[in-house]
Structure formats: C-alpha cells, structure tokens
Amino acid sequence: MSWAEAREAAVAAGAALTPVAVEVPLAEAYGCRLAAPLRALVALPGVDVAAMDGYAVAGEGPWRVAGHVLAGGEPYQRPLPPGACVEIATGAPVPRGADRVVPYEHTSRGENTHDQDEPAHDRRDQGEDPRGRPFLGAVVGEREPSRRPHIRRRGEDVERGAVVLGAGAEVTPVVLALAAGLGHDTLPVRPRPNVAVLVTGDEVVHEGLPRHGRVRDAIGPFLPGLVEWAGGRVSGRLRLPDGREALARALTGWAVRGEGRWAPKEADVLVVCGASSKGPADHLRAVLAELGAEVLVDGVAVRPGHPQLLARLPGAGPGAGPFVVGLPGNPFAALGAAMTLLVPLLRGPSRQLSALAGPVRAHARDTRLVPVRRTGRGAVPIGHDGPASLWGAALADALAVVPPGWDGEQAELLELPRKV
C-alpha cells in the first residue's frame, strides 16, 4: 500500500474512534474535542456597558453628576434625565437615558481627578470627595467633543444562543476561557481515546546501560507525549518477552509472566512495538490472524517503517474491538510509522506544505520520511536518519514526506510533537 493510502486508511479508521460523549468540568475538558456545538449561554456583553472609564451622559453638556456606577457595584437604577451624568467604570452597566460615555481625559475635569497624591482640601476645591470621586451635583463639561459613544451594546460581541464553535473543535486553553466567559461550568466532550502500549523484545531493556547486545527501549518513551499531543492518552503499558503465546495473551487480556492483569479491552488502540517483520520472533501478523483480526494496512511503501500495520481485533461482544497499530522495532522506523498510522488515527487529517531547501533524493518506489528543520529558506534536511537512529528526528521540527520519484520543491510536512 502507498504511504498516502495508508494514511487515508488510518484517518478513515479514526472515525470509528468516537467514544460516547461525557459532560466534564471545564479544566478536565482541556485537550478533548467538543461533542456538541458550543453555544453562548449569555450575551456578551450581557447588558449595555461602558467601554471607557469616565461619565455616562444624557443630552447636551455640561452635566451634573447624579451618581457613581463602578464595575461589580450597584447599577444606576433610575433613568438619567438630560443634563445629568453618572461617573462610570469600564464594563459597568450604562444607565437608561445615557447616550454615550465621555472618557475622563475628554472632560473639563481632566485626567488628574484621580491623582491619589493630591491633598484632600485641593480635591474639595475641585468638587471631589477625599477618595477622588466627584461630589454629587458637581459639574462636568466636555473638552474634546467626540462622536464615538464608547458603549459596548448588549450582545455586540456574541449574541445569546449563538454557536461559537462546532462539534469536534479541540478544547484549547483559549477555548476553555471562551466557554467560561459564555457561562459554561462543564463541557460535553469526547473523552481522549485510551491507548495501550506493548513493547516486545527479549533484547530490550528499560533502564540503565544496555550491555551484551541489548538495547534500551527507545520507542516506549516517545509514545506518551506523541499520543497526548495527537489527542489520546496512554492508559496502560506492558513489556513483553518474544513469543507468540505471550503476544496473543497480551492482546486478549491475560496475565503475562507475573506482569499482572492487563486490560486491553479498556483500550481503544493497542500499539505493539517490534515483532512486525519476518524474523523468528516476529509474530504479530500470525497472532492477529489467529485472533481473527481485520487487517486494514499490511505494510506500507515507505522508508523507514515498511513493516508497519493497522488492524482491528474482533470485539468481545457484538461490534469490533480495539485497533492494533504495529510499529517496527527500529526506533526511527517506529516514529515514522506512528506519524503515518497512529497520529492520523487519533487526530484525523492535517496537511501542511513547505519548500525543501537542501538536497533530498527521492526513492524509486517508496515514499521517504525525512527529518527537517524549518528555516526562512524552507525546510532543511537534517541527516542522521537511519532507521535505528532518532538523532535527526530529535533535531527536527517535522518529517518531510518525499513521494517516490519526487523532483519538486514543495513537500508535505508532518509536524513533530513538541509540547502538549
């Protein structure tokens, strides 16, 4: 299967990863996708409010001060008659009868009415109380006439009931704040799909220095960040020895060599690292066939990462069970395969093009995934990109997708996760 077809198959499979919507408190919704459109529970602003600190005035000036309306304080209840004004703070409700707000700096009282350093007796000369507020009845004129009303009208930013975001939108920090501003305490979201990680290989060690032909696991550590960034969460991890039986038992939820009970049925996606190729310990395909899995992608024409696969296990009851993503054992091949199958499965489609600035040789038959760094001149290949080496990818911003026979300048970039 071509690389593009494999990615499409993963995106299409991802549509089946639609867990039941749940209503969660705002903070817990972060990073999830909205299960329903986000509507405004209130208008923004909720009433006509001042857009400037100053005086809400009625009719022609000068005006007599009839009250003070500060944000969060009591609104001015009575209608304001022509020739009257109330001192008003930005965001405070504008009284009925007021035509506009005159900012402090445009009034005859000038900017210094709130100079806290002035002695109280000087304030009284200016018609102010000791806190700098003008006395009721003090007269306010306008120095610089302006036609701008400086009033934000009810519903001017968002009308009550308006749909501000569609279902499926990602709940980012800004979306959380928007929802709070519109009156929401909870949000209906699709929970993040649960991803379980199985790292296979007798030669793989998980801490310390690898010795005597062993290797440190260099796939398991990138999966939680990558999965989180793609919209899922790693809900379980298991280390597996080589062996057909251990893998079969793990995929069907049995205890493995004292590792305790494992619950892949609670996982939406099982990621198997290694055992994907043709060696004596590479049992993944045989085990999937034994378990009656439906294989959706069986190898991809891509370098590195060709032995990758995507399958779906039969469900315990009616309906299909979890997806299985098989990542090759070579770590950079595993990263490329995760960017091809796992990320599109969890996150859906995304497309980004860039010029490539630097020599890249296309392969005759296979798509190449090339670590690149974005610069003003375009994306520059980094090198250090052998299938077992993560060095180039660690220096990269993205993987450039170079299709077979490619001789163009533009290439698709697969953005690599940075920070969630």
Ligand X SMILES: Nc1nc2c(c(=O)[nH]1)N[C@H]1C(S)=C(S)[C@@H](COP(=O)(O)OP(=O)(O)OC[C@H]3O[C@@H](n4cnc5c(N)ncnc54)[C@H](O)[C@@H]3O)O[C@H]1N2
Is residue 298 within the footprint of ligand X (CB under 6 A)? no
- Tell me which of 330, 340, 354, 367 binds ligand X, using CB under 6 A: 330
The rounded distance, in Å, linking the Cα atoms of 97 and 221 is 65
DSSP code string of 371-390: EEEEETTEEEE-----TT--
Q: How many residues bind ligand X (CB under 6 A)?
A: 26
Q: Which does 93 bind (CB under 5 to 8 A by kind): ligand X, ligand MOO, none?
A: none
- Residues 55/86, Cβ–Cβ less than 8 Å: yes
Say how far apart CA 259 and CA 250 lie, in whole Å: 10
Q: Is there binding between residue 199 and ligand X (CB under 6 A)? A: yes
What is the token pair recorded at 143?
A: 């120095």
204 contributes a contact to ligand X by CB under 6 A = yes
85 forms part of the interface with ligand X (CB under 6 A): no
The item of ligand X, ligand MOO, none sharing an interface with residue 223, based on CB under 5 to 8 Å by kind, is none
Is 338 one of the binding residues for ligand X (CB under 6 A)?
Answer: no
Measured CA to CA, the distance from residue 144 to residue 266 in angstroms comes to 69
Q: Rule CB under 6 A: choose which of 54, 95, 322, 331 binds ligand X.
A: 331
Contact residues for ligand MOO, defined by CB under 6 A = 303-307, 328, 330, 333, 387
Give residues 358-417 in contact with ligand X (rule: CB under 6 A): 387
Q: Which residue minimizes CB distance to ligand X?
A: 329
Find all residues with CB under 8 Å of 227, minimum gap 6, and list them: 195, 233, 234, 342, 346
* 274 interacts with, out of ligand X, ligand MOO, none, CB within 5 to 8 A per kind: ligand X
* 252 in contact with ligand X (CB under 6 A): no
Among 10, 38, 218, 240, binds ligand X (CB under 6 A): 218
Residues 9-68 that bind ligand X (CB under 6 A): none
Q: Kindly state whether residue 328 participates in binding ligand X, applying the rule CB under 6 A.
A: yes
* Residue 264 contact partner, candidates ligand X, ligand MOO, none, CB within 5 to 8 A by sort of partner: none
| CB of 199 closer than 8 Å to CB of 237 | yes
| Least separation in angstroms between CB 242 and ligand MOO | 18
Segments of 318-406 assigned E as strands: 320-327, 353-355, 367-375, 378-381, 398-402
Confirm or reject binding of residue 202 to ligand X (CB under 6 A). no
Q: Decide: helix, strand or coil at residue 49.
A: strand
The Cα–Cα gap between 233 and 359 comes to 37
Interaction between residue 336 and ligand X (CB under 6 A): no
Q: For residue 367, what are the CA distances in angstroms to 56, 243, 273, 315, 317?
A: 67, 32, 22, 34, 39
Residues 261-280 contacting ligand X, CB under 6 A:
273-279
Nearer to ligand MOO, 197 or 390 (CB): 390
Which two three-digit tokens encode residue 52? 């400037």
For residue 128, state whether it binds ligand X (rule: CB under 6 A).
Answer: no
